[in-house]
Amino acid sequence: MGTIRIGIAGGAGYTGGELLRILINHPQAEICWVHSNSNAGKSLSDVHADLFGDTNLKFTDTISQDIDALFLCVGHGDAKKFLDSHEISASIKIIDLSQDFRLNSNARHGSRSFVYGLPELNREAIKQAQNIANPGCFATCIQIGILPLADAGLLNSDVHINATTGSTGAGQSLSPTSHFSWRNNNLSVYKAFEHQHLNEIGQSLNQLQNNFDQALNFIPQRGDFTRGILAVMYTETELSLDEAYTLYENFFKDHPFTHISKRNIDLKQLVNTNKALIHLEKHGNKLLIISIIDNLLKGASGHAVQNMNLMFGLGETVGLRLKGVGF
């Protein structure tokens, strides 16, 4: 595969900035344009200060068809609007980071059909896809934690989930719960039992275990840190701990970014990487599953580049061997 020519719509937000950071250093990617109506004419580094010295590109309010792939880093509901208001050649592959096309019930837009882009679930379909709906951040973290059980037909009791996300999960726009003075040294619950990512999680579980009808009791929390998601889950199972580890290791053995740890895990092990880490414990008849990712990378932009690599026949890890901060 030669150079992949890329356009990015909505490049001014957190996911757009992370996508730029990855693609600027991707050996087979060339960023042709970055669309932003509000920042047209500005240098990318005027908005994303960490890119100063890395690129001379400027934002534009026009688009070109001379690209191979289009990343949509726009807000939820805006991906459809962008496609409605811009003519995009059918030959251009699209990777959408919004929630607009994730569910089977809305996975079509005109003549385009979107494949749900979780490689740990749909890697072979992603390789053949023209359009990808990138999964949500919570959905990615939680699914990675429980898909092996569903694949084995062993998800037969309610799943209890408590997951905490960093402040970047709320996006760049200010709100009462994203100001530093509110978020710092604070913790809160939101959208208990009704978070929008539950729909895509349930869809994936039914894809693997078509009789799955158990409750997903999901309590999301806002953390007082910048990036990362830690999901703590438990469900009843007759598996021993050794059997559970064997099940998980076999399920993920061919997936280069997901790793199973017999030692406890923490966010600093993988922040700034495209990894997902899983740790298991057995307490009586309950299996405890801890799953962690960086919400902006494996939860969004890194995941999107992983999908791009698969779609264009590249090695899955190309451009994504990123070093975690560690401390």
Segment 33-60, tens digit of pLDDT: 999 988 999 999 999 999 999 999 999 9
Q: Judge whether residue 299 has pLDDT over 80.
A: yes
Quote the pLDDT of residue 212.
92
Q: How confident is the model at residue 14 (pLDDT cuts 50, 70, 90)?
A: confident
**Cα within 13 Å of Cα(83), Cβ side:** 26
Quote the pLDDT of residue 172.
61
Q: Judge whether residue 103 has pLDDT over 60.
A: yes
Which residues, including other chains, have CB under 8 Å from residue 35's CB and lie 6 or more apart? 7, 8, 9, 10, 11, 59, 60, 61, 62, 63
Q: Is 32 tagged catalytic?
A: no
| Cβ count within 10 A of residue 106 | 13
Q: 283-288 long-range CB contacts below 8 Å, 24 or more apart?
A: 283/234, 285/236, 285/237, 285/238, 286/234, 286/235, 286/236, 286/237, 287/149, 287/234, 287/235, 287/236, 287/237, 287/239, 287/241, 287/244, 288/232, 288/233, 288/234
Cα distance between residue 129 and residue 117, in whole Å = 9
Catalytic residue among 32, 73, 137, 141: 137
Cα distance between residue 279 and residue 26, in whole Å = 30
CA torsion sign for 201, 205, 211, 214 is: negative
For the ranges 13-17, 75-79, 267-271, the one whose mean pLDDT is highest: 267-271
Quote the pLDDT of residue 95.
98
Mean local confidence (pLDDT), 302-317: 98
Cα distance between residue 267 and residue 261, in whole Å = 13
Cα distance between residue 244 and residue 249, in whole Å = 9
Q: Judge whether residue 173 has pLDDT over 70.
A: no
Q: Judge whether residue 67 has pLDDT over 60.
A: yes
